Structure 1
Amino acid sequence: MTKRVGRSPRRFVSAQKGRGAVFNLRLPPRGRDQPPWRRSRTSASRGSSSGAHGRRTVAIVTPYYPPKIGGVEQYTARLAAAVAADPGLRAVVITTHLDGGLRTRVTTEDGVRVVRLGAWLKLSNTPLSPLWPLQLRYWLRRTGADVVNAHAPVPGLGDLAIVMAGRRPTVLTYHAGSMRKGGPGSGTADRLIGLYEKALLPRVFARARRLVAVSPVSLAEGRPHAVRITPGVDTDRFTPGEPSSRRARTIVYVGRMDRSSAWKGVDVLVRAFARLAGDVPDGRLRLVGDGDALPGLRDLADELGVADRLETPGALSGAALTDAVRTAAVLALPSLTEAESFGMALVEGMACATPVVGSAVGGIPHVVADGETGLLVPPGDPDALAAACTRLLADGDLADRMGKAGRQVAEERYAWPLLTARYLDLFRTL
């Protein structure tokens, strides 16, 4: 656990659990508390990677990072890899622990230095720690960060990074529309979220040098200093398999299944599958991902009489994930609110020429062209979702045509090199 040991000099100590590594964090005197581009070359050569190697350092600050699975996690990992591969830039990631540990851990993952900070508590899906302001200030200085790219909407770490960046140029990437849940029992949470989005978030937006909106429904969209850079897909990894009409009649969902993420609408998909099960006797439903809501979803399938046709392989990655998408007859994303600002799983399905079904909410209609690359249905409507999935399972020509069109759109609009190149240009301008 990171703790304050003394008063003068300011000293912080953290140990790397299980590895015996101890960080003796001494903050420099206030006279040296200045951004790395204002230091002398001698000072920079000691602490700033840009001064020592002639490369500017981009600190990517994100509440979660792989191996945790999710859209923001994939987005930040792809961006970090692109920065690390650029000859003029260096990447460092500042994030949180997967296991809720309190101690700071530093590793190198795929050539990127990753600093994982501890969290004292977790509210809903939000990790928090009162030490983060001091830790962010220290690690931004120690890693020689020249530009800070923070990612939200999870309140906390990203907001603090913008504040603690000092004079460093900052870019805030906002990944969602309103995070209000709007479901039963969400009144208190929605009031707190509404207060955050109305009172605090605009100030964070104003403080950031540039904003990146990942979709037209992102709360950063349309602001004077904002640009839009959507998530993308690895079109060399997510590739078409055989035509959808020849695949086993499996509907796949890919994403997290936490109780705090009920807006993903996975229970609606289970109910929809139960409605179509009689018309598609060989149909199966595969829920790829994990989370504390998964046991309840299994219980719901059992209650509806389709537990024997439900597959829950857990969180998949690498070839197992691509195979799950490439071999499915339909990929469904039944989200309920504008918190789904994009829907990366949909683009992965399109890249695999898998026809997709999504809710007409949030950023999904900007990704799926209804009737061309997939089908859109009203959010929270299991009957409409069942009808759309049944239509694609029954009409092989339609499914194949939509799959082919989806692959073309994925190549032309969502290939990662096209999108990360825009980020690199943005960082260079700062």
Structure 2
Amino acid sequence: MSRRRTIAIVTPYYPPKIGGVEQYTARLAAAVAADPGLRAVVITTRLDRGLRTRVTTEAGIRVIRLGAWLKLSNTPLSPLWPLQLRRWLRRTDADVVNAHAPVPGLGDLAVAVSGRRPTVLTYHAGSMHKGEPDSGAADRLIGLYEKVLLPRVFNRAHRLVAVSPVSLAEGRPHAMRITPGVDTDRFTPGESASRRARTIVYVGRMDRSSAWKGVDVLIRAFARLADDIPGARLRLIGDGDALPDLRNLADELGVRDRLETPGALSGTALTDAVRTAAVLSLPSLTEAESFGMALIEAMACATPVVGSAVGGIPHVIADGETGLLVPPGDPDALAAACTKLLTDGGLADSMGAAGRREAEERYAWPHLTARYLELFRTL
């Protein structure tokens, strides 16, 4: 009987941390582990400040969490990682390395130290430029990384996977596109959107380093529509160090009593929040938002969606069919789009139904992970 081939999935963060890349890698690891000819191992970072490597078994998968010496913005770093990665790739008998980026550091190093092992680099973003008034130094470093270092990493990887048309890996000769997916058996429609409480939901990070998510724009938009729709509420689902700032902004705008911040939700709590929402909004500001997994989760629940016409979002939302697109950073346009869906029940129901069909046809996970498994077998 032949030995099961080991696929080492190297990702800067992994559940229980919540985020699109984290869900993507967890789903992929589970698919690899379920394949009789493959074995999955995950190499990631610790979520606490511990420096020692921690090894656990999570959902039947070996997870190796490396310590980080420091964290710059959203990027954990350690000078020990080159040695640690080599050692763990050897100790786990890794046959193929699948690294995930754009958070610089761990994924890049995994490709660099993989030796003769075939490598697949999955790139999850367009340009990471923040484009904020106080981000000049950070943007210069990002520009240097994307112009000088990243092309070398791309060239070294045997195969590239772009998660959307705006991924920086898209269009390269050895690249293929595999989008994020959704569990259509878990994220399912509830009652029709027109019958739901008038709640607008955002799901995602709320870190100061992720201001490009545009959550402050959503709060400003909500304040504009609040007087016209007295029963409307806004739920911000997720954690991050920007939450106090966002609560303060809601207080300044007079809508703090209509804002809910339940923290990061998972399991049935998350699906229930998305399934019962009247609208889900993704108000991102830059091309760093290369896809938007929360959008397809909402679509699978027949929840109408409103997103910014930036990055990969227009490739997910068919404007006027499965949801509405608005200019990024425009609270008036965002308020108008949300108001339209909260007040026009027929439109909300038709967009919700169209979104469910789109989720089933294009984004069901089994088809997407099957493409990865075939790729790993050919390397």
TM-score w.r.t. length of structure 2:
1.00
1:116 lines up with 2:65 in the alignment: yes
CA distance, structure 2, for counterparts of residue 366 and residue 276 of structure 1: 27
Deviations 1:98-149 (A, max 9, x none): 1121010000000110000000000000000000000000000000000000
By how many angstroms is 1:254 displaced?
Answer: 0.1
Deviations 1:359-397 (A, max 9, x none): 000000000000000000000000000000000000000
> Letter of the aligned partner of 1:155 in structure 2?
P
CA distance, structure 2, for counterparts of residue 317 and residue 53 of structure 1: 38
CA distance, structure 1, for counterparts of residue 286 and residue 50 of structure 2: 32
CA distance, structure 1, for counterparts of residue 229 and residue 58 of structure 2: 44
CA distance, structure 2, for counterparts of residue 101 and residue 230 of structure 1: 33
1:135 equivalent in structure 2: 84
Which of 363, 385, 388 is matched with 2:334 structurally?
Answer: 385
Which of 313, 319, 326 is matched with 2:268 structurally?
Answer: 319
CA distance, structure 1, for counterparts of residue 266 and residue 181 of structure 2: 17
By how many angstroms is 1:53 displaced?
Answer: 6.4
> Letter of the aligned partner of 1:107 in structure 2?
T
CA distance, structure 2, for counterparts of residue 412 and residue 110 of structure 1: 28
Deviations 1:173-232 (A, max 9, x none): 000000000011000000000000000000000000000000000000000000000000
1:15 equivalent in structure 2: none
Q: What is the alpha-carbon root mean square deviation over aligned residues?
A: 0.6
Which of 242, 245, 254 is matched with 1:296 structurally?
Answer: 245
CA distance, structure 2, for counterparts of residue 73 and residue 181 of structure 1: 21
> Letter of the aligned partner of 2:113 in structure 1?
M
- Secondary structure of 1:402's counterpart equals helix
Deviations 1:264-317 (A, max 9, x none): 000000000000001100000000001000000000000000000000000000
Which of 261, 267, 271 is matched with 2:216 structurally?
Answer: 267
CA distance, structure 2, for counterparts of residue 183 and residue 191 of structure 1: 12
1:236 lines up with 2:208 in the alignment: no
CA distance, structure 1, for counterparts of residue 295 and residue 110 of structure 2: 30
Structure label with greater radius of gyration: 1
1:158 lines up with 2:111 in the alignment: no
CA distance, structure 1, for counterparts of residue 118 and residue 350 of structure 2: 46
> Which one has more relative contact order, counting CA pairs under 8 Å at least 6 apart?
2
Deviations 1:140-168 (A, max 9, x none): 00000000000000000000000010000
Tell me which moved more, 98-107 or 87-96. 98-107
1:411 equivalent in structure 2: 360
CA distance, structure 1, for counterparts of residue 288 and residue 323 of structure 2: 21
1:199 equivalent in structure 2: 148
CA distance, structure 2, for counterparts of residue 273 and residue 101 of structure 1: 40
CA distance, structure 2, for counterparts of residue 111 and residue 337 of structure 1: 37
Which of 359, 364, 380 is matched with 2:308 structurally?
Answer: 359
CA distance, structure 1, for counterparts of residue 32 and residue 367 of structure 2: 14
> Letter of the aligned partner of 1:182 in structure 2?
G
Deviations 1:2-40 (A, max 9, x none): xxxxxxxxxxxxxxxxxxxxxxxxxxxxxxxxxxxxxxx
Unaligned ranges ≥5, structure 2: none
CA distance, structure 2, for counterparts of residue 132 and residue 239 of structure 1: 41
CA distance, structure 2, for counterparts of residue 164 and residue 109 of structure 1: 26
- Secondary structure of 1:146's counterpart equals strand
CA distance, structure 2, for counterparts of residue 166 and residue 54 of structure 1: 21
1:47 equivalent in structure 2: none
> Letter of the aligned partner of 1:147 in structure 2?
V
- Secondary structure of 1:192's counterpart equals helix
Which of 214, 223, 238 is matched with 2:172 structurally?
Answer: 223
Corresponding pairs, count: 379
1:126 lines up with 2:102 in the alignment: no
1:213 equivalent in structure 2: 162
> Letter of the aligned partner of 2:241 in structure 1?
D
2:26 equivalent in structure 1: 77
Which of 55, 61, 84 is matched with 2:4 structurally?
Answer: 55
> Letter of the aligned partner of 2:70 in structure 1?
L
- Secondary structure of 2:65's counterpart equals strand
Unaligned ranges ≥5, structure 1: 1-51
1:189 equivalent in structure 2: 138
CA distance, structure 1, for counterparts of residue 133 and residue 236 of structure 2: 24
> Letter of the aligned partner of 1:275 in structure 2?
R
Equivalent positions of 1:267-286 (< 5 A) are 267-286=216-235
CA distance, structure 1, for counterparts of residue 60 and residue 333 of structure 2: 46
- Secondary structure of 2:94's counterpart equals coil
TM-score w.r.t. length of structure 1:
0.88
1:105 equivalent in structure 2: 54
> Letter of the aligned partner of 1:396 in structure 2?
G
> Letter of the aligned partner of 2:240 in structure 1?
G
CA distance, structure 1, for counterparts of residue 318 and residue 251 of structure 2: 34
> Letter of the aligned partner of 1:100 in structure 2?
R
> Letter of the aligned partner of 1:238 in structure 2?
F
